[in-house]
Amino acid sequence: MDYLAGLNSEQRAAVQQIHGPVMIIAGAGSGKTRVITFRVAHLIASGVDPFNILVLTFTNKAAREMRERIMHLVGAEAKNIWMGTFHSVFAKLLRVEADKIGYPNNFTIYDTDDSKSVLRAILKEMNLDDKLYQVNFVLNRISAAKNNLISWQAYQQNEQLQADDFSSGRGMMGKIFETYVQRCYRAGAMDFDDLLFKTNELLRDHPDVLNKYQHKFKYLMVDEYQDTNFSQYLIVKKLAAVNENICVVGDDAQSIYAFRGANIQNILNFEKDYPDLKVFKLEQNYRSTQNIVNVANSIIANNKEQLKKNVFSEKETGDRIKVMRAFSDNEEGKIVAEGIMQERSTKGLKWNNFAILYRTNAQSRSMEEALRKLGIPYKIYGGLSFYQRKEIKDLIAYFRLTFNPNDEEALKRVINYPKRGIGDTSVDNIIVSADKHGITPWEVITNSAQYLQRAPAALPAFATMIQSFQVLAKTQSAYETALYIAQHSGVLKDLYEDKSVEGLNRYENIQELLNGIKEFSEREDIEEKGLEVFMQDVALLTNDDKDKDKDADTVSLMTIHSSKGLEFPNVYVVGLEENLFPSQMSLNSRSDLEEERRLFYVAITRAEHKLSLSYATSRFKFGTLINCEPSRFLDEIDAQYLELDFTAKPATGNSNNYDDERVAWSRSDSFSKPKPKPASTQVKTTSILAKAHVPSANFKPSDTTNLQVGMEVEHERFGFGKVISMEGNKPDIKATIFFKEIGQKQLLLKFAKLHIVTNS
- Annotated active-site residue 32? The verdict is yes
State yes or no: 728 annotated in a binding site: no
Q: What is the CATH number of the domain that holds 460?
A: 1.10.486.10
Look at residue 301 and tell me if it is in a domain: no
Give the model confidence (pLDDT) of 527-551 as tens digits: 677 888 888 777 776 555 544 455 6
On whether both 86 and 228 belong to a single domain, the answer is yes
State yes or no: 458 annotated in a binding site: no
Q: Give residue 49's pLDDT.
A: 94
Residues 6+ apart with CB under 8 A from 640: none
Look at residue 420 and tell me if it is in a domain: yes
What kind and span of H or E run contains 447?
A: none
DSSP state, 682?
P
Look at residue 292 and tell me if it is in a domain: no
d(CA 410, CA 462): 14
Pairing type for strands 642-645 and 321-326 reads parallel
The torsion region of residue 341 among left (phi > 0), alpha (psi -120 to 50) and beta comes to alpha
User: Could you give phi then psi for residue 517, rounded to 5 degrees?
Assistant: -70, -40
* Residue 537 domain boundaries: 387-541
- Annotated active-site residue 597? The verdict is no
On whether both 366 and 420 belong to a single domain, the answer is no
State yes or no: 31 annotated in a binding site: yes
Look at residue 750 and tell me if it is in a domain: yes
Question: Of 261, 282, 303, at which residue does a domain stop?
Answer: 282
Q: Give residue 69's pLDDT.
A: 87
Is the omega angle on the peptide bond into residue 377 within 30 degrees of 0, that is, cis? no
d(CA 566, CA 571): 11
- Annotated active-site residue 33? The verdict is yes
Q: What is the CATH number of the domain that holds 594?
A: 3.40.50.300
Q: What is the CATH number of the domain that holds 129?
A: 1.10.10
On whether both 408 and 508 belong to a single domain, the answer is yes
Look at residue 423 and tell me if it is in a domain: yes
Look at residue 561 and tell me if it is in a domain: yes
On whether both 556 and 636 belong to a single domain, the answer is yes
State yes or no: 171 annotated in a binding site: no
Of 652, 660, 668, the residue nearest 684 (C-alpha): 660
State yes or no: 664 annotated in a binding site: no
Q: Give residue 684's pLDDT.
A: 33
Catalytic residue among 16, 33, 214, 446, which?
33
On whether both 524 and 475 belong to a single domain, the answer is yes
Look at residue 684 and tell me if it is in a domain: no
On whether both 501 and 483 belong to a single domain, the answer is yes
Q: What parts of the chain have a pLDDT lower than 50?
A: 546-548, 650-692
Write the CA distances from 7 to 32, 40, 222, 223, 282, integer angstroms: 11, 14, 20, 19, 11
On whether both 497 and 426 belong to a single domain, the answer is yes
Write the CA distances from 429 to 401, 412, 432, 452, 540, integer angstroms: 19, 12, 5, 8, 33
State yes or no: 32 annotated in a binding site: yes
**358 near 364, Cβ under 8 Å?**
yes
- Annotated active-site residue 413? The verdict is no
On whether both 399 and 536 belong to a single domain, the answer is yes
> How many structural domains compose the chain?
5
Catalytic residue among 10, 12, 32, 744, which?
32
- Written as one string, the DSSP assignment of 3-71 is GGGGS-HHHHHHHH--SS-EEEEE-TTS-HHHHHHHHHHHHHHTT--GGGEEEEES-HHHHHHHHHHHH
Give the model confidence (pLDDT) of 544-572 as tens digits: 554 445 568 899 999 999 899 899 999 99
On whether both 408 and 492 belong to a single domain, the answer is yes
Catalytic residue among 10, 165, 191, 223, which?
223
Pairing type for strands 607-616 and 568-573 reads parallel
Q: Give residue 677's pLDDT.
A: 34
Q: Give residue 180's pLDDT.
A: 96
- Annotated active-site residue 470? The verdict is no
On whether both 181 and 248 belong to a single domain, the answer is no
State yes or no: 30 annotated in a binding site: yes
Question: Of 130, 159, 187, at which residue does a domain stop?
Answer: 187
Q: What is the CATH number of the domain that holds 722?
A: 2.30.30
Question: Of 486, 519, 541, at which residue does a domain stop?
Answer: 541
d(CA 573, CA 585): 20
Of 746, 756, 760, the residue nearest 705 (C-alpha): 756
Question: Edge-to-edge strand order for the sheet containing 743-748?
Answer: 743-748, 734-739, 719-727, 712-715, 754-758
Look at residue 674 and tell me if it is in a domain: no
State yes or no: 143 annotated in a binding site: no
**466 near 405, Cβ under 8 Å?**
yes
On whether both 325 and 409 belong to a single domain, the answer is no
Can you give the pTM of this predicted structure? 0.74
- Annotated active-site residue 224? The verdict is yes
On whether both 166 and 49 belong to a single domain, the answer is no
